[in-house]
């Protein structure tokens, strides 16, 4: 259940046994209780200044930040998959008609939408502003639960962002989760449609990648190559 405070626009996600986006102790207990009461299929509702929005359907959740030419091409391709897409931009009247499984969000604070995503979501960051890209990526990586965090740009941009992340105290293990440049290798085209196909293929590959089996071994036994 996505919960939004109507006055402050603070957003967080409530599941049956956890809270994501903010510390549970920072939330009003009544808001968490109300959200969990609506998890059984209740409709969207506003209760005591909080907006409760059910997150239903596919568990393949994608957030695309940026509605420029490349962002629009990416959303056009991804919307053909069985997924839920939140498409976010700060510019007024940037969105036109959107597919059924795409929710367009025009907001002056796009980075706050990171907290609205469920765990294990896929993120694509391709806004018109490098500082905004940095802020969004920082919030995604600090969550620590992204299935994929992709940033459009060159290797030079990645190195510049890595330096800033370290200055801001982000652990190296979190920084290494950033994918930049994005898109499967072997597609060199720079047209929006070509980039979109390469990026969609990379996300789909990440989504379908099976988890490595976990084996329980005695403490004195180590697999070859470990």
Average pLDDT over residues 64-93: 95
> Are 70 and 170 within one domain?
yes
Query: Quick one: 81 and 138 in the same domain?
Result: yes
User: What total number of domains does the chain contain?
Assistant: 2
Question: What 3-state DSSP class applies to 65?
Answer: strand
Is residue 6 included in any domain, yes or no? yes
Both 196 and 85 in one domain: the answer is: yes
Judge whether 225 lies within some domain.
no
Adjacency order of strands within the sheet including 2-5: 19-20, 11-14, 2-5, 50-53, 45-47
Percent of the chain scoring above 90 in pLDDT: 60
Highest mean pLDDT among 57-66, 193-202, 207-216: 193-202
- 175 and 69, same structural domain? yes
Q: In the prediction, which pLDDT does 192 show?
A: 95
Tokens of 122: 């896929």
- Looking at the structure, tell me whether residues 187 and 144 fall in a common domain: yes
Q: Which domain holds residue 200?
A: 61-207
- Tens of pLDDT, residues 96-124: 878 888 999 999 999 999 999 999 999 99
Note whether residue 180 is domain-resident.
yes
Q: What is the mean pLDDT of residues 73-88?
A: 95
Computed over every residue of the chain, the mean pLDDT equals 87
Establish if 183 belongs to a structural domain. Answer: yes
Q: What is d(CA 163, CA 167) in angstroms, rounded to the nearest whole number?
A: 6
* Same domain, residue pair 15 and 68: no
212 domain-assigned: no
Residue 72 falls within a domain, yes or no?
Answer: yes
Q: Are 28 and 99 in the same domain?
A: no
Report the SS3 class of residue 159. Answer: helix
**Which residues, 6 or more positions from 73, have their beta carbon under 8 angstroms from its beta carbon?**
192, 193, 195, 196
Q: What share of the chain is helix, strand, coil (3-state, %, to 5)?
A: 35, 20, 45
Q: Are residues 16 and 110 in the same domain?
A: no
Query: What local confidence, expressed as pLDDT, does residue 173 receive?
Result: 95
Whether residue 7 is found in the same domain as residue 75? no
Query: Cα(94)–Cα(186) distance, rounded to whole angstroms?
Result: 32
Q: Is residue 175 part of a domain?
A: yes
Output the pLDDT for position 222: 45
Q: Are residues 197 and 107 in the same domain?
A: yes
State how far the alpha carbon of 100 is from the alpha carbons of 59, 81, 134, 147, 178, in Å. 16, 11, 30, 23, 29
Residue 214 has pLDDT above 70, yes or no: no
Read off the pLDDT of residues 155-203 as tens digits, 9 standing for 90 and up: 999 999 999 999 999 999 999 999 999 999 988 889 999 999 999 999 9
Evaluate whether residue 193 is within a structural domain: yes
- With a pLDDT cut of 70, the percent of the chain lying above it is 88
Across 32-37, average pLDDT: 86
Both 164 and 123 in one domain: the answer is: yes
Which CATH number belongs to the domain containing residue 147 in this structure? Answer: 3.40.50.720
Q: Is 134 found in the same domain as 176? A: yes
Q: What angle do CA 105, 84, 206 make, to 5 degrees?
A: 120
């Amino acid at each position: 259940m996505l919960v939004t405070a109507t006055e402050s626009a603070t957003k967080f996600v409530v599941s049956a046994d956890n809270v994501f986006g903010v510390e549970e102790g920072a939330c009003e207990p009544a808001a968490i209780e109300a959200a969990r009461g609506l998890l059984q299929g209740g409709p969207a509702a506003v209760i005591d200044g909080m907006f409760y929005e059910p997150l239903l359907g596919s568990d393949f959740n994608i957030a695309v930040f940026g509605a420029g030419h490349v962002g629009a091409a990416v959303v056009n391709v991804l919307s053909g998959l069985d997924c839920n897409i939140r498409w976010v931009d700060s510019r007024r009247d940037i969105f036109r008609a959107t597919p059924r499984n795409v929710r367009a969000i025009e907001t002056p604070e796009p980075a706050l939408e990171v907290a609205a995503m469920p765990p294990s979501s896929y993120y694509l960051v391709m806004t018109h502003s490098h500082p905004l890209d940095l802020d969004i990526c920082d919030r995604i990586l600090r969550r620590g639960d992204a299935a994929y965090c992709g940033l459009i740009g060159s290797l030079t941009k990645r190195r510049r962002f890595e330096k800033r992340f370290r200055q801001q105290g982000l652990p190296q293990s979190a920084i290494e989760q950033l994918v930049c440049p994005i898109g499967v290798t072997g597609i060199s085209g720079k047209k929006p449609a070509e980039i979109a196909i390469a990026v969609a293929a990379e996300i789909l590959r990440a989504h379908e990648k099976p988890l490595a089996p976990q084996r329980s071994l005695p403490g004195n036994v180590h697999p070859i190559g470990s």
